[in-house]
Structure 1
Amino acid sequence: MTSSIARVTTITARSDVSFEDAIQAGVARSAQTLRNVSGAWVKEQKVEVADGVITAYQVVLEVTFVLED
């Protein structure tokens, strides 16, 4: 029987462009540090606003990576 064990870590990513850009940046950066990243769950989304205009997009991601043997 084959099994695998994964770990989940929480990260926050921010972008001045969009939520999608923040997610892409967060996953890309996670993959630079963590090996075997297998998925990410967008746990929270938030915008920063100044004078009634959105100035930044922020996401909280739960990043899953499989532990090595």
Structure 2
Amino acid sequence: MPAKQPEPLSYEQARAELAEVVQKLESGGGTLEESLALWERGEKLAQICQHWLDGAKAKLDAAGS
């Protein structure tokens, strides 16, 4: 049986999680491996947010044409 794909994050969910990641990175205290994992997760979350923003911009541009 194939593994269930995770639900895609909404912009708001990705932004909120990204803020948590940034806060954890800024507070420090973790190991280098933990910090790298957080950084990689933050990069992925930033890409998700950018995807949503690009989609919204494309819709606005299409509506303005």
* TM-score between both structures, scaled by the size of structure 2: 0.31
* TM-score between both structures, scaled by the size of structure 1: 0.30
Higher CA-based Rg: 2
Q: Using CA pairs below 8 Å that are at least 6 residues apart, which structure has the higher relative contact order?
A: 1
Judging by fraction of residues, say which structure has more helix: 2
Judging by fraction of residues, say which structure has more strand: 1
